[in-house]
Amino acid sequence: MVPQLPEGRSFGLLARFKDAPAIYAACEKVRDAGYTKWDSHTPFPVHGLDRAMGLKASRLPWIVLTTGLSGAAGGMLLQYWVSV
């Protein structure tokens, strides 16, 4: 028996999936249906789920690399300046 959805505008939907391939396929179907603002949650990382959702690559790794290298260089320069 499938429950009936109420009339009017729907503001959310919750679903439970048995395994990772099922949620992967569901994310692809939601993306292909044209939805743009939605999310999926899993208790463990699912490889490739971001591609199935159609998400763009994040710039965060490059930002972390740049600030980490800048901090390391700044620390080395500070040690040199204090020593000499």
Euclidean distance between CA atoms 21 and 59, whole angstroms: 27
| pLDDT of the residue at 1 | 59
**Segment 15-43, tens digit of pLDDT:** 899 999 999 999 999 999 998 888 999 99
Stretch 5-19: mean pLDDT, rounded?
81
Longest alpha-carbon distance in the chain: 79
Contacts of 56 (CB under 8 A, 6+ apart): none
Stretch 46-62: mean pLDDT, rounded?
92
Contacts of 27 (CB under 8 A, 6+ apart): 40, 49, 52, 53
pTM across the whole model: 0.63
Name the least confident of 1-15, 20-34, 52-66, 69-83.
1-15
3/83: higher pLDDT = 83
